[in-house]
Structure 1
Amino acid sequence: MYELFLSAFVTLFVVIDPPGCAPIYAGLSAGASRAQAVSMATRACVIASIILVVFALFGKALLGALHIELDAFRIAGGIMLFMIAIDMVFEKRTQRREERAEKVKATPEVEDVSVFPMAMPMLAGPGSIATMMLLTSRAHGPEQTAMILAAMIAVMLLAFAALAAAGPLMKVLGDKVEAVITRLLGVLLAALAAQYIIDGVKATLLAG
């Protein structure tokens, strides 16, 4: 059980990437007070957690309704995560996040960024949703599912800590350290994504 929790935690941490979200949130909440920034961070993490739990628990039923095999979803999800990893290694993901943040900041009437873009798509984006569905599809029984959900909650708590301390954190880390962390996480995610694809192909071949 501990190994499952650790595996799910590492996978979700890499995909959600709390350190990578921190500088974006620091820019988006630059005009907010400390209390407002913490409040928006809380709402963003709660909303993102709800979205991920819904897909974790009901994603399999959704795939069944669409007549999509779990192995096909594993392969597709692995490819998606691999593409995210490539973007992280070459810093394209950070660039897109910054562009998205600038668009939000350029809209004067947008003040609360907790729902968009923080909760979705930055925290609960396609990658993290696909990851939750992949992890729960491999879980056997409610205990393993509960461990995966516990890992997700742990990552979200770290995400909240990163967002809440985004301003001071960025002053300490700096852009260069953040770039190094993002690239290392990208390499790790690429390996995990490759494993998902291998598992999906193996299962398909064995079933055939």
Structure 2
Amino acid sequence: MLEYVLLVEVFVTLFVIMDPVGTVPIFLSLTAGRSSGTARRAAWQAVAVSFLVITLFAFFGQQILSYLHISLPALQCAGGLLLLLVALELLTGKEEQMVASADANVALVPLGTPLLAGPGAIVATMLFVQDIDGWGSGLSVALGVIGVHVTLWLAMRFSLPILRLIREGGVLLVTRIAGLLLSAIAVQLIADAVRAFIAGEG
């Protein structure tokens, strides 16, 4: 049976990390001067690349950790620290300036990865996969990941009207709120990892 609480948790967590609204101005800058058809193609290609990368880590990430002898609490703590750094960048407004050449496929880099499928989203997805205990929870995680990617595609596909609607001030406000929520998620990940280490699970 579908676990709606888990579905919402996956969707909200990845939504905050991947930040569809904050992606809009970056997408517009990377596709500036290109035809509308090229921009639309870049939108779905970027989402496809992101979904592929996250899916690969969701299925094989644990095997990679086992091969490298890395425990889940260690990954969880590292992921929390990483998300905290990302949250601080969102809160302080220190986003990187991304400039692409005219012949570069921006859908692959930097849009698909690392902008969308960055380390934070990969770690968060792997942690959710570890909580799967049946078809219901597995389907909930899958739908949450798919839902976020659909939202990302919609945000980039309709980026021009979205930007006209909320304007730069709205994007800035949403980015700051996302940073605050992401910092709380990061602290919770670190706290859970510390509890796991104390319990001797690390």
Q: Which TM-score bucket, shorter chain as reference?
A: over 0.9
- In the superposition, the TM-score normalised over structure 2's length comes to 0.93
Which of 178, 194, 200 aligns to 2:193? It is: 200
Describe the SS at the equivalent of 2:184: helix
Which of 46, 49, 56 aligns to 1:44? It is: 46
Describe the SS at the equivalent of 1:207: coil
Amino acid at match of 1:168: P
Q: Check if 1:129 corresponds to 2:122.
A: yes
CA distance in 1, matches of 2:8, 2:117: 20
State the superposition RMSD in angstroms. 1.3
Amino acid at match of 1:28: L
CA distance in 2, matches of 1:9, 1:131: 11
What do residues 70-96 of structure 1 show as CA deviations (whole Å, max 9, x unaligned)?
11111111111111111111111xx31
CA distance in 1, matches of 2:144, 2:43: 19
- In the superposition, the TM-score normalised over structure 1's length comes to 0.91
Which of 184, 189, 194 aligns to 2:182? It is: 189
Moved more, 197-206 or 13-22: 197-206
Amino acid at match of 1:108: A
By how many angstroms is 1:134 displaced? 1.9
By how many angstroms is 1:10 displaced? 0.6
Amino acid at match of 2:91: V
CA distance in 1, matches of 2:59, 2:137: 12
Structure 2 residue runs of 5 or longer lacking an equivalent are none
Q: How does 1:147-158 map to 2 (within 5 A)?
A: 147-158=140-151
By how many angstroms is 1:51 displaced? 0.6
By how many angstroms is 1:159 displaced? 0.3
Q: How does 1:1-208 map to 2 (within 5 A)?
A: 1-92=3-94, 95-96=95-96, 99-100=97-98, 102=99, 104=100, 107-110=101-104, 112-207=105-200
CA distance in 2, matches of 1:141, 1:83: 33
Amino acid at match of 2:193: G
Structure 1 residue runs of 5 or longer lacking an equivalent are none
Amino acid at match of 2:73: D
By how many angstroms is 1:142 displaced? 4.4
CA distance in 2, matches of 1:108, 1:5: 39
CA distance in 2, matches of 1:165, 1:17: 15
What percent identity do the matched residue pairs reach?
Answer: 32
CA distance in 2, matches of 1:7, 1:169: 25
Contact 1:53 1:149 in 2 (8 A): no
Describe the SS at the equivalent of 2:199: helix
CA distance in 2, matches of 1:145, 1:193: 23
Describe the SS at the equivalent of 1:31: coil
